Structure 1
Amino acid sequence: MSAYEPVSCYSGPLTMAQGQWLRGTVKAVSSGDCLTIVGSVKSGPPPEKTITLSSLMSPRLARRDTKDEPWAWQSREYLRKKVIGKAVVFKVDYAVPSINREFGSVFMDDTNLALDVVANGWARVKTQVNAQSEQSPYLADLVKAEEQAQSQGLGMWNKTPGAAEASVRDLPPSGVGEGSTFDALGLLDECKGKAIPALVEMVRDGSTIRVWLLPSYQFVQVYTTGIQCPSMGRRPPPVEAVPETAKAETNGGSGAASEPLTSAQRLAAANAPVEVAPDPFAREAKHFTETRVLHRDVRIVLDGVDKYNNLFGSIFYSENDVAQDLALQLVSQGLARVVEWSAAMLEPLAKEKLKATERQAKLDKLRLWVNFVPAPSNSVAVRDDNFTGVVIEVVSGDCVVVADDAAPEGSPLAERRVNLSSIRAPKVGNPRRDEKPAPHAREAKEFLRSRLIGQKVAVQMEYTRKVAPTDGPVPAPGGERNMEFGSLFLLDKSKDAEGATVAPTANGEAPAPGINVAEMVVGRGFATVVRHRDFEERSTYYENLVAAEARATKKKAGMHSAKEPPVAHLNDISDRTAAAKAKQFLPFLQRSGRQPAVVDYVLSGHRFKLIIPKESVAVAFSLAGVRCPGRGEPFADEALAFMRRRISQRSVEIEVETVDKTGTFLGSLFENKVNVAVALLENGLAKLHPNFDPSRTASAVDLQRAEEKARTHKVKVWENYDPAAEAAAEAASTSDTKGEVLNVRVTEVVDGSRFYAQVESDSRLSSIEAQLEGLKLKEKVLPAGAFAPKRGELVLGQFTLDDSFARALIVEAPKQATGTGGDKYEVFYVDYGNKETLPVSRLRPMEPGLAAVPQQSHLCSLAHVKVPGLDEEFGVDAAQLLQETVADKKLVARVEERDNSAGRTKGQGVGPRMIVTLVDPESSATIQSVLLEAGLARLEKAGRGASRQKREALEALQEHQELAKKERLNIWQYGDVGSDDEEEPRAWGRR
């Protein structure tokens, strides 16, 4: 073989002298005696040369209007299978310019291909030539081999009767070219989804090939599904040369002038196709395809047909015994673009692989994408943010809250809201905005709740995305918020995975730590996969999600089903406006005893929203006899976090004891048969209610023991517990405080029985006013955005009527406080009892010294009488009469009782209050008597345990009520107003 070592490799156009040995690779085999050999270069398509084996003549394959010569197909197949894609050495023996062909000798692994073909009977030897130079240097060996093949009946010398005729292919009508009647749609219906063996006969461009479908020998043109390579341009049709003599004869002699063109000739010349150069990288794309599939066996999966009857298919070839997808390979090299309308014919997973490959080629700026600049994206990748935790809340089918194991309880990162990457579940809606849940939203949320709540999960955060105000609620001051997206993995692999698998990602990364939750949801048909823009961040397991969606679509599961989604009937009586309806449910819930429920939401440490499946009702529920710290108080957030981790969205059991005025049910709640109230008390996150009645609660002993244990060890709410001080306070609370007399001035009337009053003997109010005046707050203007107070914060508010500043409590703050002056804050003036709404420009921060002074307005209510509320009949009249009676007067208030059961609730009309008898010193008349005589109030009924003082006071006021009854004034206009057992009469003045 050393005699055939090439002098050099191809380094330019093939114009080497005859007789020079060259090395190359067989690119194509067009017949049993003709090969196309290519060289190699560092960049761009290499040069190529077509060599016909010297002194040979093989049978010819069929042309447009001819049939195969006998043994033509078998002859070509023998040579093709032997040498296609193999390295060879060759030299040109001679050339025939008249037919523009070169003849040569080709060797592969010490084998003379011409000699091998003849020896196996697949070509004839041409011995009659015009010159000695136009013959193979191995002619004698070829003739001898031919004689031997003939004698043995090999190949085309087969003597079997009918063998020659049987070797001719029976070709169906071609599916290529104008006028073709090929039924592409029929072929697609017959072969869709099947891998059809084929032989590539021609490569038109990088993404278009012409093939023989085997074994039918149907000749068709196939476009590669989903991609398009650059165009190879267009060449004008060849112009036949006209001899000079013919020109002269046509023109009537050499000296005659040319005749002018006719109109038809000018029109034909104008419409003649012009040459169009190939697009950039078109030749590279075509060469890439040719070197892999031309004259090679491939498999084609037909995907579709366009409106022009063109076939589209996926082309698979073998490389190193590994099946390769031609479309993927072209796109990965930057030699093709993904075409969306064509890619839609592919399966979702195949389409996503194609688009992911194109994205990578764009990032690498390969060939077609050399000048590519990614479009700006609103998503940012997150790196190295992985953690484990327990799922404590399922917000929707694509959003959960996870308690991070590594974060200390109570810290801002203790609970992390994780949106599942690259999927979108139906929206659960917002009842406050009258938004109803989308179809399958409740099912998606319940699917996740039943599988994730309380379960250990691993989280891989992947990207964050900025959300504009139109996309949802925006609590951030800048008008937008960041949503965090990640992949969630259920570590307990025994749970129902719904088709999800623990498998490596499509890009070959390490296996996932557990069951992919997003894949579970999508596979069940409760979410769809987001079709991201090109360079938006996405899930690392995106292709797995696409495959899961394809399975769900095929099964018609969940959202993909044609059936109507189930309608969930849930009677929500958890709002305060449904208090009357809640009372109607009380007998049913009491009779049921201990019954199952689901904690829908944890409102505070001791108050929850529950769903009772048996009754199809949502209720507000509070632990009987137990109270956690209120909002803003120490350990309130810890109590809330403790209960969220313990029972949020868990399946629990409840026992209902009673219902209060607001429609909140009171009772005991059990999680895993453990009373959660006991756990709260033991951890020092709650106290027993001051009015706790052990006789009404079955587990009263356990509750008292739990509180005593926490109190003894001074846990949390008991950290400052002093037994001696507690005993003194208890003694003071049991002493007789009735009869305490105060000189007061009413500053604000809340309704007909409640008002705020200042104690005139307290000099602290005048001191506060003097301090505020000295601060000269009107002259101090804060810059925009410098101050954005929160709910529950004490500030200084500028009263609208006189522009004076007073101490105020923020009762309600805007959800999106920007500090620009347009925000409206509801404030309560703690020293006067009135409230109003102010912009942030009329608010100032308060100094600590001023904040330490107690509230100077005291909430009071009239003793012994019941007065209609403002939303009831005659309620406004009663309030107006009270306002007129007490306005600008110094009054005397005798304290009958103090009510501290409301705790430290903030805002107007709530909180600790004094129940008083209010007397006008000028007339010595009580305000109660004025309201009774006007028929705008009625007396309370003395209970069995009423004191002697109360009975005497009621008897003294009785005559004033009788006067109004006699005159049938206001509430008495129709007679008796009703029973005293009814705490809130629905209509004052009607029987």
Structure 2
Amino acid sequence: MSSLVNNREEARPVSTNTYFLGIVKQVLSGDTIMVRDRPINGPPPERTIILSNISCGRVARKPSTGVPTGTSEDPFAWEAREFVRTLLIGKEVCYSIETEQPSGRKYGCVYVGKNISGENVALSLVEQGLAEVRKLNPTVAAKNKVYQQLVTAQEQAKSLGKGRWSPNPPVTREILWSVENIRSFFESYKNRPLKAVVENVRDGCSVQVFILPESLNERPNTFVYLTVTMSGIKCPSIRYEDGKIVPDAWGLDALFFTESRLLQRDVTILLESVFNQTFVGSILHPNGNIAELLLRHGLAHCIDWNLNLVSVPGAAEAYKIAERFAKEKRLRVFENYQPTQTAEVHSDSLPTVVPGKIFSGVICEVGNGDNVSIKCSDGVHKFFLSSIRAPRPQSNNKEDDSSAQRGRIRPLYDIPYVFEAREVLRQFIGKQVTAHVDYIQPKTPNTVDERVCATVRADDVNLALALVSKGLASVVRYRNTNDSRSVFYGELLAAEENAQSKGLGMYSKQDAPIHRVADLTGNVAKSRQFLSFLQRAERLDGVVEFVFSASRFRIYIPRETCVITLLLGGIQCPRRGRIGPDGVALPDMPFSNEAYMFVKELCMQRNVEIKVEAMDRVGNFVGYLYMDIPNLSSNEPDINKSSGKKKKKKSTETNVKQKTNLSVLLISQGFGTVHRAPTTERSPHYHDMLKAEEDAKINRCGLWSSDQFVKEWEAEVQNNSDPTVSSGAEDGSLVPLAGLSEYLDDLSELQIDEDGDLKTVINDENIKQLSWKPVQITGISRPSGSQGLRFFAQHLSDACTLVKISQMLNSQSFPSFPSEYCPKKGSLCIACFSLDNCWYRARVIRSSPKSVTVQFIDFGNEEVIDAAEYSSRLSPLPPGSLMQLPPQVKEYRLAFVQLPPDTSDRMFAERAFCDLVENKELRLAVVYESVPCGNESLKPVPAVTLVLPVADHKTSGSSVCPNDIDISESLLSNGLVCVEPIQPQLLKRLPRNLLHKYLDAQALAKKERKNIWRYGDFRTDVEQL
């Protein structure tokens, strides 16, 4: 601030005082005024003047960090401030500085106008009774003429009872510094003109105001303090770091522009929205719209997604025109503006997915509330709905949940409103839509890859808008106004506000809906509890949640509030490629992918009906699935027709749409064959399936187009004795139908010519004689679902190879765990065994972020290695001979033997087996291969007989003695195991000389009620289950 000598205009000097000119920027209180110079190349300097010789009291101040309760207001302090504000704000004044205290406070006189002939502000305050004259030393007071005028004016005010001298009690303001329910306040005053005074300017487009009582429905004399951001525009921001102002380019200029025109001016506020607990609206001044002026001077830019909020008629278009003017002139924030070359580009010419590209197709799958998959002409594309976020878990979830519990979370059912959001999107499956790519979201730590975000529309329905308007999704708030977003962002915000005001969905005051859905997949006990309910129902409505293969589905059943795995009954479908138990990739069978894609497009997330017939041993349900099939071509067989006399009647019912049996449909398309089994033959759909199969053969559809498949199928049907064929199976390793294998106590029950068959078995040279090999048992194998007694064995003929492998692994040092090495399930590695600290070859069979479980492929045992021990106990398998050598241990099971169902009995039997074979050399011979034990669903392993040579009669490895101990016979005679259930057709192909001996041993243990027979024959209960 400079004196008049150095300023632009001179004031007439009075006495020895120096006078200054300035413009009143702000009135802090009745006796404190902030004055600034005229701006030159930027915001000007400022000076605060306190009026000499008077006091007006303190104006209330809002709560702050240092003063959490704020400061109270003195009587008549607000009236004094308003008097001075109305008199001086924005006007030029002449002022003097009479004294300056060491603290920096400056005291002086302020006159309205360019010289001291103008109105004395202090004198006017005293005359109105709004200020009190300070008492001075009588000697000093007598010499000060201005002071004498103040004293005289105060006496007159007292005599007239003005202001603070009034006999009436003073009334101070009631101030609401913060609004508790911002949403309710907004709804009460939305788009209503509110008279206000601007108290502070935070940046070029954000101000803090006092809403005056005459505009409010509150109590009389109540002022409301609000922060309001201008709608439709954005100015350069101003940040505060360590108490210092850090503005963006042109930020201070925008601040000064708004301050010089709005600070402490009377304005009209139109509240138009709420954003991050801040009100958004238009600020109107008698001289014009400040937002338009900021744009025209290049101190702000338009926000396209926010322009829709502007409620002033014609203002949004005026904003765009003003911004265009500033861009053309390259003013301030647009100084480096370069117009973009906008050329219309057809989407077909774009080789990749880029913003602006438009896709058309049919929705084939929807995600959990925020994404859809669209089948387009060039394939299936996944799109996330722009600028919205699906419902999230509640913040009060317990953080101390174990990782296992967190691993079982099912977002669709466990997170409130995700299921409802998915159901809204599911209504659009199969409908034609267009997707306009808005932006591509880069990969983040929480996402697997980058996300293509688009606005998806089905006819006139915006999917994102449909979710937000129902309160089933929230709108993303962007920190940076330049961030890409939906072109309908403004409409999304408006829809969200409407949903909040109506209390819809996530914004409802009621408790969120809870979906207690029982997941029966893989849970045998729970599945058994639900089986009777599912079987009694004629047909159950369901939703296909997932398609595993052409004949395997995950179904959600609303009526029973459960999720099941359903295997299609009566059909065999080709197997898809997968990783086998030994880590070897199994290839796709012919037409497996075609069948899978055909079924997925028809069924995925569609409403269906199911009929449950049975349950397998691992908790999967077997039955039939019915659904509506759209647009079947005329050359396809009429799969809705049934055989018999009802054909003519059904042909006349053209208006009745019947649901199609998916098993029949797949067979008619050549994507499966009829499973010929007693349960299938009893099915009411058996004849329909046979007819569909015959039609597919004639038309050479799918599998029937392969001559090799036809030959294999004809041979299999003719033999009709493959024990591994199963209902709903993709290959022989899946689940057989219940009831195919039966327990027996005597071979005469099967009506087999034992003498002839046994003689054939013993004397026929074509039957392979048992080949005995010396082995050593290394451990028990307990895969889930196993019914047989499985174990690992090393052939003693491979002992040299085992020693060689051990020497190669432990005679050299291996590099520590590489940081880039990631132990994946199925990968080969070397691991250090904890009991002897030696290295062995291993395969990763389970992997988690905290540990891996490895199986030592030369011994069969398993061990868990924590992530903290990776560097010392885990390393990649080095290339070379170690990689090429096959595993030196093999998995077998005892032939004709089954473990008891009771867990404790199983453990006792396994312990007895270990006591018989541990650290002993035994003889092993394979009896038969590729036959599962009983009705188990696991991949079968070779079934063997195992004998322990008698110490006094050691024989060579290729033969055994009659006195040798048969391990299976020993376990059976002690009532520790039982003879497995066997299919009659299978038994014709197997050697039965061992079975005679085993049945006799079992009969003896059963008669003496040993161990598992102590309560009688338990097998009847097992068969019923």
Q: Give TM-score, length-normalised by structure 2.
A: 0.54
Which residue number corresponds to residue 528 of structure 1? 474
- In 1, distance between residues paired with 2:819 and 2:698? 44
- In 2, distance between residues paired with 1:858 and 1:630? 24
Which residue number corresponds to residue 977 of structure 2? 937
Give the letter aligned to residue 326 of structure 1. Answer: I
Q: CA deviation at 1:335?
A: 6.3
Q: Is the 8 A contact 2:270 2:282 kept in 1?
A: yes
Q: CA deviation at 1:599?
A: 0.9
Kindly indicate whether residue 603 of structure 2 is the aligned counterpart of residue 647 of structure 1. yes
Q: Is the 8 A contact 2:371 2:384 kept in 1?
A: yes
Which residue number corresponds to residue 634 of structure 1? 587
Give the letter aligned to residue 876 of structure 1. Answer: M
* Residues 341-740 of structure 1 aligned to structure 2 (within 5 Å): 383-384=355-356, 387-397=359-369, 399-403=370-374, 405=376, 407-408=378-379, 414=380, 416=382, 418=384, 420-427=386-393, 432-434=407-409, 437-452=414-429, 456-464=433-441, 467-468=444-445, 481-482=448-449, 484=451, 486-493=453-460, 515-534=461-480, 537=483, 539-540=485-486, 541-574=488-521, 576-577=522-523, 579-624=524-569, 625-627=571-573, 628-632=575-579, 633-635=586-588, 642-672=598-628, 673-677=659-663, 694-700=680-686, 709=696, 721=708, 740=769
Structure 1 unaligned blocks of 5 or more: 1-11, 16-39, 47-63, 66-94, 102-177, 231-277, 305-310, 339-345, 372-380, 409-413, 472-479, 494-514, 817-821, 986-991
Q: Is the 8 A contact 1:210 1:221 kept in 2?
A: yes
- In 1, distance between residues paired with 2:612 and 2:713? 32
Structure 2 unaligned blocks of 5 or more: 1-6, 11-37, 45-78, 81-112, 120-168, 177-184, 237-250, 274-278, 337-352, 398-404, 580-585, 629-658, 723-760, 951-962
Per the alignment, do residues 420 and 657 of structure 1 end up closer, same or farther by CA in structure 2, a change over 3 Å counting?
farther
- 3-state SS of paired residue (2:425): helix
- In 1, distance between residues paired with 2:439 and 2:391? 19
Per the alignment, do residues 99 and 179 of structure 1 end up closer, same or farther by CA in structure 2, a change over 3 Å counting?
farther
Give the letter aligned to residue 914 of structure 1. Answer: P
* Residues 900-979 of structure 1 aligned to structure 2 (within 5 Å): 910-922=938-950, 923-940=963-980, 956-961=997-1002, 964=1005, 968-972=1009-1013, 974-979=1014-1019
- In 2, distance between residues paired with 1:447 and 1:600? 15
Give the letter aligned to residue 418 of structure 1. Answer: F
Q: Is the 8 A contact 1:387 1:458 kept in 2?
A: yes
Per the alignment, do residues 552 and 467 of structure 1 end up closer, same or farther by CA in structure 2, a change over 3 Å counting?
same
Give the letter aligned to residue 905 of structure 2. Answer: F
- 3-state SS of paired residue (1:742): coil
Which residue number corresponds to residue 846 of structure 2? 812
Q: Is the 8 A contact 1:748 1:755 kept in 2?
A: no
Larger CA Rg, structure 1 vs 2: 1
Per the alignment, do residues 542 and 962 of structure 1 end up closer, same or farther by CA in structure 2, a change over 3 Å counting?
same
Q: CA deviation at 1:655?
A: 2.4
Q: Is the 8 A contact 2:436 2:455 kept in 1?
A: yes
- In 1, distance between residues paired with 2:280 and 2:551? 65
Give the letter aligned to residue 818 of structure 2. Answer: A
Q: Output one character per residue of 1:636-659: Cα deviation in whole Å (capped at 9) or x when no partner.
A: 777655544432211112222211
Q: CA deviation at 1:533?
A: 2.3
Which residue number corresponds to residue 140 of structure 1? none
Q: Output one character per residue of 1:678-700: Cα deviation in whole Å (capped at 9) or x when no partner.
A: 56567776666696964145445
Per the alignment, do residues 43 and 179 of structure 1 end up closer, same or farther by CA in structure 2, a change over 3 Å counting?
farther
Per the alignment, do residues 347 and 191 of structure 1 end up closer, same or farther by CA in structure 2, a change over 3 Å counting?
farther
- 3-state SS of paired residue (1:741): coil
2:772 to 743, 760, 763: 743
Q: Is the 8 A contact 1:386 1:461 kept in 2?
A: no
Give the letter aligned to residue 681 of structure 2. Answer: S
Q: CA deviation at 1:660?
A: 0.6
Which residue number corresponds to residue 350 of structure 2? none
Aligned-pair RMSD on alpha carbons? 6.3
Give the letter aligned to residue 371 of structure 2. Answer: V
Q: Is the 8 A contact 1:859 1:912 kept in 2?
A: no
Question: How many pairs does the alignment contain?
Answer: 691
Per the alignment, do residues 180 and 313 of structure 1 end up closer, same or farther by CA in structure 2, a change over 3 Å counting?
farther
Q: CA deviation at 1:567?
A: 3.6
- 3-state SS of paired residue (1:519): helix
Which residue number corresponds to residue 894 of structure 2? 862
Q: CA deviation at 1:980?
A: 3.4
Q: CA deviation at 1:935?
A: 2.8
Per the alignment, do residues 198 and 711 of structure 1 end up closer, same or farther by CA in structure 2, a change over 3 Å counting?
same
Give the letter aligned to residue 454 of structure 2. Answer: S
Q: CA deviation at 1:607?
A: 2.0
2:790 to 755, 758, 766: 755
Q: CA deviation at 1:521?
A: 0.9
Which residue number corresponds to residue 153 of structure 1? none
Q: CA deviation at 1:666?
A: 1.0
Q: Give TM-score, length-normalised by structure 1.
A: 0.55
Give the letter aligned to residue 551 of structure 2. Answer: H
- In 1, distance between residues paired with 2:949 and 2:1003? 24
Q: CA deviation at 1:396?
A: 1.9
Q: Is the 8 A contact 2:930 2:941 kept in 1?
A: yes
- In 2, distance between residues paired with 1:938 and 1:45? 97
- In 2, distance between residues paired with 1:349 and 1:634? 61
- In 2, distance between residues paired with 1:388 and 1:555? 34
User: Matched residues, percent identical?
Assistant: 25
Q: Is the 8 A contact 1:860 1:913 kept in 2?
A: yes
Give the letter aligned to residue 393 of structure 1. Answer: E
- In 1, distance between residues paired with 2:697 and 2:883? 31
Q: Is the 8 A contact 1:383 1:462 kept in 2?
A: yes
Q: CA deviation at 1:568?
A: 3.4
- In 1, distance between residues paired with 2:430 and 2:311? 35
- In 2, distance between residues paired with 1:179 and 1:336? 45
Q: Output one character per residue of 1:323-343: Cα deviation in whole Å (capped at 9) or x when no partner.
A: x753575488686999xxxxx
Kindly indicate whether residue 317 of structure 2 is the aligned counterpart of residue 315 of structure 1. no
Q: Is the 8 A contact 1:809 1:828 kept in 2?
A: yes
Q: Is the 8 A contact 1:458 1:490 kept in 2?
A: yes
- 3-state SS of paired residue (1:649): coil
Q: Output one character per residue of 1:713-760: Cα deviation in whole Å (capped at 9) or x when no partner.
A: 696899794666777899999798976523242443225942345695
Which residue number corresponds to residue 49 of structure 1? none
Kindly indicate whether residue 326 of structure 2 is the aligned counterpart of residue 285 of structure 1. no
Q: CA deviation at 1:490?
A: 2.6
